[in-house]
Amino acid sequence: MTEITCITPIDGSVYATRPVASRADVAARLETARTAQRDWAARPLAERIALVEEGVARLDRVNADLVQELAWQMGRPTRTGGEMGGVRERSGYMAGIARRVLAPEVIEDDAKFRRLLAREPVGLVLVIAPWNYPFLTATNTIVPALIAGNAVVLKHASQTPLAGERLAQAFAHLPDGVFTNLFLDHATTAKLIAARSFGFVNFTGSVAGGQSIERAAAGTFTALGLELGGKDPGYVRADANLDAAVDTLMDGAFFNSGQCCCGIERIYVAEPLFDAFVEKSVAWVSKLILGNPLEQATTLGPMASRRFADTVRAQTAEAVAAGATALVDKGLFPADTGSTAYLAPQILTGVDHSMRVMTEESFGPVVGIMPVRDDEQAIALMNDSRYGLTASVWTEDPDVGQSIGARLETGTVFMNRADYLDPALTWTGVKDTGRGAALSHLGYLSVTRPKSYHLKRL
């Protein structure tokens, strides 16, 4: 029997194993889901909203357990308090706009005609969720999909199998089949997509993973939402609030050990502020405490696996060999022995775009900082990437911030903030970061299809 195994980054031991679902079990559960979906969609929207909100509340009630489990599964320090604040914010917003967004648009209703545009659920929605924010990212699609009348099938990452089970428990009060958690291997997932088993597939993960999803869906016309890699930049202009920029950009680069979809991975600083920005940033990072995520003093936990940590180590070593300077004293972080998932944070200067650390996704606790002459150079460097999820611009002038943002190849432009999802604004990317839109009213468009009614009275 094939199993999914979670190796905890805390000590490298096996934390959880789960058997991969058999082909017969998958077929039976998908059939149950299809049947359940039809009845679920027929329920009044108000009932669906209330039941989904109850599921979120049930998840919230066990947050203390979730926080501990996340530390064991992917290394996030328990002191952060988990993800439920964001889950409540996003699910509450999506529930709050559902009546307006899903209401039919009446074009005409008189003695001769009734014409309207409606939206109906796509049927079964497959959510392939990542390990770095296993509840937040899944919520982005699960909540609107269920509210819109779909049945949801969840395949969670092998690093966070308990997250899938926790979500299934939270929504266990829904009719059987409306929410299904499955442990699937990659091959089975691809076959299900190729068999046109789903009306919509949402995937958050690597570019290679997204390419595999697209290949599996080729010719099926299955709608896809793909949030893939990122190399999000920050730009600190000469008129920026320096201390605020340091605090936010360093937090954006190192929170969750740098394992954030929209984390800051490269920073460009106006030459007059460069030295001061770097000095303050090194001081900020040097105060982090790398250690066991279960300990309250720990502010920086291990990366989710040694493999991920070794990737960042390799990028950093290559950059230093090519002339970059590592500024953070590794001796301040004795937990990093070089052979585990515990990785000391690092700031690099003397970097350029010939180095992988400035062009390829690191997804770890390292950031390169470059000086720039002006806006033109900063914009060119920020756009010199095959990714485009978010960009952070630091200035005291909103007009300048927006005008720079208009020239950036990215899904979201931040001014004087970073690493945040506003549920009222759509979450999307460009280039190799993927396609599709989550959150905001546009998030409902992915999990529904339009339907026109042209009714003539005789």
Could you say which DSSP state residue 20 is in?
P
438/247 Cα distance (integer angstroms): 28
375/424 Cα distance (integer angstroms): 29
**Number of CB atoms found within 10 A of residue 369's CB:** 24
365/302 Cα distance (integer angstroms): 10
Specify the residue for token string 């929504």: 171
Collapsing DSSP to helix, strand or coil, 4 comes out as strand
- Which one is catalytic: 69, 83, 227, 265? 227
Could you say which DSSP state residue 21 is in?
P
Q: Which two tokens stand for residue 396?
A: 């005291």
Task: State yes or no: is 261 an active-site residue.
Answer: yes
Using CB atoms within 10 A of its CB, is residue 212 exposed (0-12), middle (13-18) or buried (19+)?
middle
DSSP string, 70-127: HHHHH---GGG--SHHHHHHHHHHHHHHHHHHHS-EEEEESSSEEEEEEEEE-SEEEE
280/34 Cα distance (integer angstroms): 56
- Which one is catalytic: 6, 69, 260, 261? 261
For residue 65, give Cα distances in angstroms to 60, 214, 436, 453.
Answer: 10, 36, 33, 48
Q: Which residues are catalytic?
A: 227, 261
